[in-house]
Every structure is written in structure tokens, then in C-alpha cells.
Amino acid sequence: MAGAKPGVHALQLKPVIVHEELKKGSKFIRWEEDSANSTPVLGTLKVDENGFYLTWIAGGQQETEIIDMWTICDTRKGKFAKSPKDPKLREKLSYEKEGFESKLLTIIYGVDMVNVSFICLLGLDEKTTQIWTDELFDLATNILSRNSSRTRHLYKAYTKLKLHGNLDGRIPMKHFLKLFSDKKRVETAMEQCNLNNNKSESIKTDDLTWEVFLKFLDNLCIRPELQSIFEECGARRKPFISLDQFLDFLNDKQRDSRLNEVLYPPLKRDQVRQVMEKFESNLSQLERDQLSLQGFSRFLNSEENNSLPLEKLDLFDDMNHSLAHYFINSSHNTYLTVGQLTGASSVEMYRQVLLTGCRCIELDCWKGKPPDEEPYITHGFTMTTEIPFKDVIEAIAETAFKASPYPVILSFENHVDSPKQQAKMAEYCRTIFGDALLIDPLDKYPLEQDSPLPSPQDLLGKILIKNKKKPHLEKTTVRRKDPVPTQPSPSRDSPLTDTEGQKILSNGDQKQAEKAAKDPGQRGEGESEEEEENEMMPEGKKAASEEGTALNEVSATEEMSNLVNYIQPVKFKGFDNALRRRRHYEMSSFVETKAIEILKTFPFECLAYNKKQLSRIYPKGTRVDSSNYMPQLFWNIGCQMVALNFQTLDLPMQLNMGVFEYNGHSGYLLKPEIMTRGDKQFDPYTEDIVDGIVANTVTVRIISGQFLTDKKVGVYVEVNLFGLPRDTKRRFKTRTSNGNSMDPVWEDGDFVFYKVILPSLASLRISAYEENGRFIGHRILPVSSLKRGYRYINLRTEFNQPLLMASLLVYIEAKDFVPNQHLEYIEALTNPIKHISQLEAREKMLAYLMEDSEDDMTETEDIPDSLLSPEPALPSSPLEETPEWVPAPVQSPTEEDFVVSIVTDIPSMSLEDLRQQKNLTKLKKKQLKDFSELRKKNQKKIQSESQKKHATIEKNFKRSIKKGDSQDKIGDLEKQKAQLWEYNMQELLELRQSLYMQEKQMQLQHQAEEHEKLKLMVTEYQELHTKKLTDTCTKEKKEIQKILEKKRIQNLVEAKKKDPGLQLPDFNKKHINDCVEIFRKLEKLQSMRKEKFLLKHLEMTQQMESLLTQLESQLNEKLEEEYRQLPREISQYLPSDLQNKGACMGSPLSGLSNHSSPTSSTPSNCSTPWFPRSFDKSMDNNLGSLHDSTSSSTTPALSESELSFN
């Protein structure tokens, strides 16, 4: 969080080295602590050569148990390891044998601090067990391993797949599918690599080499964003970039321009050549000083392109300042595993919290019950369980300095009202901690006024006790007097009843409670943290809050008081009082609500207080779910011990773990200098630049994601910045990808944090989420150490453990903030030629106001004609021909040719080319398929309905004809049959019309989708084209600048040869004038190109609008014609025998054969039309309004029961 030590940091991080004993594997006996009936198993414990995974292979088993090294948090040996409790298990393991305990080994692993698992092992000899204990812990906690490059992450995934190989030498396909979210793409990529051509359930282990795995990943994820970056480097549709282009990329894009060029000089050609040799595998290209896209991609993945400087992860801060000058990683109610009211208390939590680097832990101590009378730790007057005080002290002694050698602070909340048990507590601390416990103050730092606190370096390996002091040992401190000195504190299992509570209040405490309500939040020496919060409440609410909580801490005995030195808690009586007392070893604790009140009311005083004395903030009692407040609030005012509930991995805890990961995981972070120096004042609410501090502008662009989750879902990314109130920005958010979590690409532009006032106190958080809001991973980056350029961010879990493959490709840039009023000055320094040109133009404009008209005419005569000629007018229509912006080439090498050769044309696409793009044609194919399926379904429905009606009519007709019926009667029956068919055909037509409206609606919807897609494609293409034009103009300008600089040096050398007494000012002035003319020519050519460019865009837009109108009109005409043809379509379902009947015999079906449409006239040879007149009228109405598919008809609908013949 603070500035670096002066000079260049010498890296001291340990490299990842796997001990030979771990690589070859060792025999251990594994036993289960929870099962007495289980049989101990002999097996092999082994670590791969890269230190990625711990494997266990039991004798006679084929399955290998694989444990990720990043999840291992501790190893314990001997008396600290778990030992078998069951007598039968002890007998099986020969527990009584000498030296048994020294061969015990326990490996602890898990995904958070609460849910941990234990592997209980018995070594065959003590030496091997010791090696595994030390070396495995070093591997699991190695800082470089947890902050490795993306290449190493991919190699770890490759190693995991290889470890899953079975005894047959094959890797089951299920392990590939667990890593990647898209099964179809995995199978396709494997076929392209010839890994699984026969689509079997496994592949050969030997076939999967590292090179084949990389090829598989390349086929699995096509990376168009890498191609874009490669082209920006200068590839220009070539498969390579030159050494000079790569040099420019490294120095211009990847290097922080603010770096001191003496301490951090830009790279040179020979250095860049070495980088290319490391990553370019194509030797022929390397010989030509070329870097391929594949080599460029490898560089981006490599350790040379890490997202953070490694020195920031090392012990980077000066550890010789006063304790008050550091933020200290602190825990609240450390023993709890769940909420504040119920759940288990755990000794293991103390170990786990200390292993994360926490340096301040809390112990709530209560009086033990007979007969043992052993003090215990729990959350008073709640349903949480109890743990022995001695066990906690032993756990702390064993784990305190495993993660960090810097001092540990034990914050006691002492409710043990037994002098005997307090003496026992003090004795446990003395004997178990031994020399690690700091009892007497250091000679250099006596407990006197104005004496500063010792530094973390002075207290290396020491444990400090924070507990109230006995009054006679510290007479100047004020402690609240007990109204009933003989009243013992309530025991853990006998909470206060209502009567007891009223009795205590009636003995004098009621007035103090009322007084505390008026002066809230001030907790004195002897007051518990819970009590401080209770005092802040009105009396009516206080009684309810006090139920089940301790009223106050008890008086400290002399034994406990003697253990307290530099961390003495006192009642906070105001900042003025602390200033008068000048005792830096006194500190106060504040509940978060009181701390926020101070933050709002006394920010300056609080900052001044925290420069010399310690303060501790803790969560309010109403956070019964163990949620956390945002720690950044109190870091902003310099509070050192901002205590959080470590069991809850919410956003505040994630921020805390991410911030304290740095400075060697020491648990101490040096505060910014402005928060420690007595001669500096600082307003945490300031919106202005702070004197002596350079504000930053931070730009973040999220480019793409890689293997974010194993689910096929949409994902999005958020970017937040935490710092001072003015700096904090929440939240920038990308769009959600379309069901792609494997390789999503975003084009949301830059997220800009315009002014970060105090960069050394600010943190950038980049986090990824599934479309439903489920957390995927994140990373916390200190703003003061951001590395510029294109970087991969490997994501972490809520517990800050690295994820295997999830990463984001981002572009990050942090630069010095420049206020708007200074931008012109900065631009003048950056581009002096442009600045001079602007000044000359302004001078000429002012000349018209400063001189007479005659002088103006004289001045005008001296101006070249080229400057007086009018600018070419824009064409009146975008379809008119535009003048060519590139002049015709000439043979002589003039300056004009030089500029023209630099300005290149940018190819563009036509509207028709865009319409042929894959994503649009794909949409059309999908729409055609959907429409064909709908029409097929509708036709099938009509056919089925027609067959049903046909069968019913024929059945009734045949049933009505009797033997011996006359021809006249049969003729009448046939007429009735024809009449029934007329009614049924009309019903079919109405059904077909309603189904057709579905088809019509789908066609209109498809056309709307297609048009929207085309509009979007045109807009995106034009935006991309515009960006490319802007980038091209910038590159052309830079290229000309380089050429002109070379020309200047060459001309200067030649001029000095001719005239040794050459005056440099005259030479430079002439050169600048020449450059100004050339840049004017360049700007003119670029302006003409841009005009032509914009006209093409306008023409494309107009063509698109015209085309869309035309397509809509064509579709409407087509739909109307199809609607008219529906009767003809329905007529095909009329039985053939009825169609062949005579047309002029009075049959109602006689008009069928000549019928073309419902709007055509009745044929002359037909006495009866096919459809009734009412239906003809209905068809006419429908044609007028196609959206009405249910037009009325006077023809009655006949049910199946009415289809009979009389």
C-alpha cells in the first residue's frame, strides 16, 4: 500500500524447488481418525517434478488421489500432528512403540478456513517424515508458485491430465470434459490434433505431449483478439512482425512511460532479440528477425509478461517504522466457524487464520467450571460451543510464525473472574510461548511519554498480549468502578434472567447506562467490545441487546497485567485527552458504528492519533451472520487493526485477503507516507490533488476471457476500484457473453478511473461472474504497482487461491493525472511541431485585427497561393464521384512523393460483402429451417383434418344408400354430399388462413431480425473501420516523425562537414519549418482520405436503408399473393370424383375446376359457384386487412354429428 524502498529492489523470493525425496515418493501408512474399524493402508506419497500436485497411491489400487498443492495450507509433525485415539487403531499402528509420535504426519488442505480435510499418515522413519513436513509446507506456501505465469497454469492443467492416466496408459475423456465447458468443441479440437479420431472414451497418455496439448488449446479456442493486437504491432495482414516492431511494442505499449530511464532503461535490440529467441520456434523466421503470432502469444503468456512486478510480492516495505505506521491483518472472534449466536468454536480456526498471515487474533476467555476449572474460549451468552484455553494457546504457539515471522498480537477479552484461573492463563502463556512472549519492554522503547512504539523488525518472532492492566499497575488509567465488587461474572452456562438483569441495573449501573447512551461508543479499560455497542443504544433497546452478553470484563490480576506492555487498551476519552497523555502504548477499540461516526466528524484528529497510537475496529454486534464491513473505510483514516470475521468470505474479506497478500505475506503493510509523517496533514475526503502526491489516471480494457468456468453459460466482468471516498468507483461492467464461458471476447472499450488521488492506498478489483450473478473468480491489484500493457490476469477464488485455468486478457495503463487546464501544455511538450504550427496559424488570424486593410492586402500578396486556395467542397450527393485524395505519382523523389508513399489506402467492404458474411447467412439458414418446419407442420395438420372429414362424409354417404334406391334419390344424396363438402372445405380454408397468419408473423419477424442484424453489422463495421483509420493516421504520423528525425541527423552531419561554425538554432528553425510543411501536407492528405471515407459510410447507410425498404415491400407483396392463393391450395383436398362431375348440372361443386381465386368472377358455364357469396365477401375483407385471420362467414359450421344424409 505504500511506496517502495529507494533504489532497485533485490528479489528474495524462493524459487519452486521440489526435493528429491518428494519427487521419487515415500512409503507411508495412512489411517482415518474418524473410523475405528478402518484398516491402515500402506501407500506411496509423491509430488510431481514441478510441484503442482500431491498424489497418494494406495497399495493394490489403480485410482490415484490427486491433491492440488494450492489447497494445502499446513503440515504438522509429531505432537502437533493428529494421533489415533481408538485403542484398536493404536494397537494396529503399534502406538506404544518408541518413537511412534515423531513419525506422525498430518497434511491439512481445503478450499477455505472452515472446511478443511486431514490426511493422517505414519512414516516409516523420522527423517523422512521431517523432510516431508518441511518441504511440502514450503512448496504449498511458495509465493512464486501462487503467482506464476499463464503458461505455468496451462502446464499445470496438462500435468493434471497426465496424472489421471490409468495403468493401461490411457486418459479417460471425462477428465478433459471436466476442464472445458463445450463437449462438441473439445471433440472437434481433438480430432484436429489426431488425439481421438475414433471417438473412444479415452486417449493414449503418450499421445498427449505438451506440444500436442498447446495445439489442442489453439484449435479449441480461436483467438481473434490476439490477431488484432498482433496487427496493431505492425503485422498488417502479414504472419509476422519485425524485430523493430516488437521493440516498439515492448517499449511503447508494455513499458510504463513514467519509469526513470536510468534505473529502468528501455529495451535495446539485442535484449529484444534474446526475448524472440526464447519464444519463437520457427528458426527461419528468427534468422530474418521476425516473430510469428504463435511466438507473440507465447510471450504474452510468459513470466516476462506478468501482471504484477514480483518485488511487490516480496517483502518490499521498510519494516523499521513504529507499529503505528502499519496496517495489521486482524481477526475478530477468531474461534468462530459460522455465525455469532450458534455454531461450533474451533481451535483449528486459530491455526488457519494465522496461516493466512493474520497478525492480530482475538480470545474471548471465560471462567472454567469445576472440577478442572480450566478457562475456556467461547462467545459469551450464545449457543456457540466452548474450546479449552490451553489448547488454543498451544495451537497459537505452534502456528504463530509459520506464515510470517513478524509479531502476533493476542487481543484478550477477559471474563475470567477467578484470580486462580487468571494466574493459570498467565502461566500457560509464559510456559507454552516461552521466549516468544514479550513480557518486559525493550530497552530502546520504554513505556514513557512520547516514546514511540517498537517496529515489526524489533519485535520479530514475538507475541504481544493486549489485555486490560490492573489499576494499581497503571494508576493514570481510569477504569469504570464496579458497583458491586463482590458480584461474580455470570458463568457461560447460566445466562442472566430478567430478574438478575434488573437487580444489577438497580445497583447503580442504570445511571451509568443512561450516561453511556448520551456519550455513546466510548469503551473504557475493563469494558468489553460488546458493552461498547450496548452503551450506544437507547436504554429501551439495550436490555434486549444485553441478554446473553457479558456486561463487562473483569479486573485483571497482577499475573495477567504483567504480560501487557505495548498494547494497553484504555477507555477512549477523546483525541485531546490522548494528545495530552502522549502515551503511544495506549490504544482503543471502536465498534464500526462509532468508528464511522468518528470518520465523519473527526477525520483529521483520527489520522493524527493513528500516526502514533494503535486503534482497533471490530464489527457491530448485530452482524449475527458474521458478515463484514468494508475495511477500506477505516484504512482511509489510518486505523491499523481493522478486525474482520475471517470465516465469512464476502467482498470485504476478499479485499482484505487480496491486499495483505503483498509485502511477502507478512501481515504488515506500511501506510502511505502522508499518513505517518507528523508534519503532513491529509484530508481523506479531498477531491483535489494532495501536495507531494502524484494522482493517477487508470485505464482498464477487458479484452477476453479464457476457460472461466466449466459450464456453458454467459459470463461478464466487473472492474471496481477501492480507495479514498473520491477514488472508489463501483462498478464498470462488460456485456454478458452469449453462452460462451470458454473464450468470450468483449468490445466494451476502456474503463477509465479519471483521477485516483492516493494511488498507494487504492486497489483495483477485476472479477468475473456467470450470467446469473454467481461468482467465478477475481484478482486484487494494488494501483501503485500496475504494469502497463497487455497482460493476463489469473483469477483467484474467494479464499484467494489461484484458479487452474480461468484468466482474463486485459489492457491496463496507469499514468500521471493531468488536470484539464494543463492538457494543452502537456500536448505541446509531446508534439512541439503541432504546437508551433498552431501558434503560427493563430498569429496569422490575429494579423487581420492588428493591421489596416491596406496592410492586409500587402500581407495577402505575400501569402502563397496554396494557402489562399479554398478547401475542396464536399460533393452534394454521396453517390457522386469524389476527387482522388492521392495525387498522381511522379517519377522524381520529391517531398510530396515521400508523404504520399506514407499515406496508404484502407480497403473497405461493400454492403453486398457484408450481406454475405457468415453470421448473417447463418441467421438466414436458421430462419429458413424454422419456417420450413412450421409450414410442414401446418400442411400436415390441414391434410389430417381433410382426411378425417373425407372419411366421415364417405362413411355416412355409403350408409345412406340402400339397395334398390332410384337414380333420382342417389342424385339427391350426391347433391347433399357436395353441399357437405362445401361446408367442410370452407372450414379447412378458415383453418388454413389462421395457420397461415402464424407463417406470416414468422416471416415478418425473421425479416425484422435480419434487418436488425444487418444494421448492427454495418454499425460495427463502420466503428471498426473508423478506429482503423484513426490508428493508421497515428502510425503514419509516427513513421514520418522517425523519418524526419533520421533526416535531421543526416542533414546536421552533412551541414557541419560543410560549415563547422554552423549555428544550431538556425538549423533547427529551418528543420522545424520544413517539418511543419510536411505535416501540413500529411494532414491535408489524411483529411481528404477521411472525407472519402465518410462519404463511403454515408453511401453504405443510404444503400442499406433503400435495400431494407425494398425488401419489406417485396415481402408484403409476396404475403398478399400467397394469401390469395390459399383457396387454390385448399381445393386440392377436394375428392377427385367430385372434381370430375359435370359443371353445368346444378351441382354446387361445378365451379371448382375453373376457380382460380375467391376474387375472380364466376365462370359462365357454372350455374352454382364453389364458395358461397358470403365467403367471397369475407375473402375480400381479408385481403384488405391481412392481420385479421378470423373473418366472419355466414356459412354454418357442421359438426360431425350433423354430417348425415336424409
- Catalytic residues, by residue number, are 332, 379
Helix (H, G, I), strand (E, B) or coil at 332: coil
Alpha-helical (H) ranges within 262-410 are 269-279, 283-287, 293-301, 310-313, 347-355, 389-399
Determine the Cα–Cα distance for residues 650 and 656; give it in Å rounded to an integer: 10
Helices (H) and strands (E) in the chain, counts: 39, 30
Q: Please state, in angstroms and rounded to a whole number, the distance separating the CA atoms of residues 67 and 104.
A: 20
Tell me the backbone φ, ψ of residue 701, rounded to 5 degrees: -125, 120
φ/ψ (deg, to 5) at 933: -65, -40
Among 613, 693, 691, 617, CA closest to 325: 613
SS3 call for 88: helix
Helix residue spans in 810-880 (DSSP H): 823-830, 832-850, 853-862, 865-868
What residues are paired with 466 via a beta bridge?
Answer: 411
368 alpha-carbon distance from chain centroid: 48
How far apart are the C-alpha atoms of 266 and 263, rounded to whole Å? Answer: 10
For 194, left (φ over 0), alpha (ψ -120 to 50), or beta? left
H or E segment and range at residue 932: helix 918-960
Contact predicate 414/560, CB 8 Å: yes
Do 550 and 365 touch, CB atoms closer than 8 A?
Answer: no
Beta strands 615-618; 72-77: pairing state: unpaired
Contacts for 550 with CB less than 8 Å, ≥ 6 apart? 380, 381, 415, 489, 490, 528, 530, 531
Unique residue bearing C-alpha cell 546536421: 1052
| Helix, coil or strand: residue 763 | strand
**Residues in the chain, how many?**
1206
The closest of 655, 651, 632 to 642, measured between CA atoms, is 632
Distances (CA, A) of 391 to 102, 386, 583: 20, 11, 34
Distance of alpha carbon 1009 from alpha carbon 931, whole angstroms: 14
- The separation between CA 273 and the C-alpha centre of its own chain, rounded to angstroms, equals 35
Let me know: does 767 contact 808? Beta carbons within 8 Å.
no
Whether residue 333 is annotated as binding a ligand: the answer is: yes
Asked whether residue 362 is marked as a ligand-binding residue, the answer is yes
413 is in an annotated binding site: yes
Report strand pairing: 326-331 vs 290-292: unpaired
Three cell numbers at 82?
Answer: 493428529
Tell me how crowded residue 495 is: count the other CB atoms within 10 A of its CB.
15
3-state secondary structure of 978: helix
Helix (H) or strand (E) holding 66, with range, is strand 65-68
Q: How far is CA 1025 from CA 906, 1035, 1097, in A?
A: 9, 15, 9
Residue with cell 488570424: 845
For residues 700 and 764, the answer to whether their CB atoms sit within 8 Å is yes
Query: Are the C-beta atoms of residues 146 and 39 closer than 8 Å to each other?
Result: no
SS3 call for 808: strand
Which amino acid is it at 344? A
Q: Which residues of 753-773 are buried (b: 16+ CB within 10 A; e: fewer)?
A: bebbbbbbbbbbbbbbbbeee
Residue whose C-alpha is closest to residue 101's, from 132, 80, 75:
80
CA 606 to chain centre: 34
Query: What SS3 class is residue 1026?
Result: helix
Amino acid sitting at position 936 = K
- Residues placed in the known binding site for Ca(2+): 333, 362, 364, 413
